[in-house]
Structure 1
């Protein structure tokens, strides 16, 4: 994949990405943070499970790291109910579609660095309430290694990848905007 295709993928997903960022919000209060954990948990549980069940293309010596278990621990720390299950509306059997989903999931590690700082200000860290953010933010090799996989994948279809990435962003937005996902 050439760099221009990566830029095109980013451009084709920019609006969906911005909507999710807006739905996540600033996390300036403990209640904001609790709401974030309650809503990101179902999204990551869905994505982690979907990615565990993928038939990985031959030659891909790379796998995503899941954070749903750490998120479940964070939810427990915060006294939140278990995540509600939602079914994804996308197919990850095509390598370009799979890369689109991974673009969203792995890209969230970049945002986790910012969110971790906000969580720290609220008193949450790698020992209580923000284990998932610490794990994502501390692994600085994930995003560059994913980009390397993206760039060396042959027959990459940026349109198919963007369609799936936008579907994954839409799933995240659904989770963040769903009031029934907030636990007491």
Structure 2
């Protein structure tokens, strides 16, 4: 079993749990509820990117996948000021990210959510009429490059795979799902 297969199998229950708990239909039904959802994503990504960047195995690779700037763009388009955005709550506590392998495990969850974001973007556009310039840049993050970006990430994971690293990667992915669930599904 490859590391990617192991991740998919061992994180499936956590993935299903968060997907069920998110209640996306309700959270993108109105502009207000959608803004609240983006605020929660901003709080997660802001904290996660800061923690992960300190130990990311490849800074350029990591930074090309950061989403906080896209969330800031969306929140501004939805009417928040820069001051309001900088005062938004940050996800705490975040899971420990003590090593490059841990960052990769956490990135598996974040990058996987980007895949789902493409589907959510279509619903946001249909329901609220928002696009990448008017409040949906985060969910459209990689645009047409989404499959390419996922394949590159998968290749990076497989390059890092080893008996020592795989356990850390899978464990951190599971913890990331738990933290993301608790943060995103908490009543805003």
**TM-score tier (shorter):** 0.7 to 0.9
Structure 1 segments (4+ residues) deviating >4 Å: none
Moved more, 60-69 or 41-50: 60-69
Instruction: Give the alignment of 1:1-184 within 5 angstroms.
Output: 4-27=2-25, 28-30=28-30, 31-56=32-57, 62-64=61-63, 65-79=65-79, 81-82=84-85, 83-121=88-126, 122-140=128-146, 141-156=148-163, 157-179=165-187, 182=188
Name stretches of at least 5 consecutive residues in structure 1 with no aligned partner.
Answer: none
Residue 120 of structure 1: how far off its partner (Å): 0.7
Count of aligned pairs between the two proteins: 176
- Please tell me whether the aligned partners of residues 112 and 137 of structure 1 are also in contact (alpha carbons under 8 angstroms): no
* TM-score, length-scaled by structure 1: 0.83
* TM-score, length-scaled by structure 2: 0.81
Moved more, 18-27 or 165-174: 18-27
Residue 8 of structure 1: how far off its partner (Å): 1.4
Residue 126 of structure 1: how far off its partner (Å): 0.8
Deviations 1:18-71 (A, max 9, x none): 1222233233512442332122111111222222222526xx873251111211
Bigger share in helix: 2
**Separation (CA, whole Å) in 2 of partners of 1:19 and 1:137:** 26
**Superposition RMSD in Å:** 2.3
